[in-house]
Amino acid sequence: MTVIEHQYLQEEELIRRAIETLLRALGPVETTRFLDLARSRPLDSVQRHRVWQESLDKDAFFQQVFG
């Protein structure tokens, strides 16, 4: 049996290739929109978490978790 060793790209090279690929496939405007998605997502999860916390009954939650 032959073992195949895989070499990972350096992070800078990976980013460069990924952006070049996105630019070729999507163009500059859609590439920018795609890259901006990552920055906007955490705000949504933070807002969901805050809504969840507001409706949380602390005593019931602790009782469920810690018994």
Digit-coded pLDDT (tens) for 1-22: 788 888 899 999 999 999 999 9
Tell me what pLDDT residue 43 has: 63
Task: Tell me the C-alpha distance between 49 and 45, whole Å.
Answer: 6
Q: Give the residue carrying structure tokens 């590439």.
A: 31
Digit-coded pLDDT (tens) for 28-61: 999 999 988 866 556 677 888 888 888 888 888 8
Tell me what pLDDT residue 50 has: 87
Tell me what pLDDT residue 41 has: 59
Tell me what pLDDT residue 40 has: 59
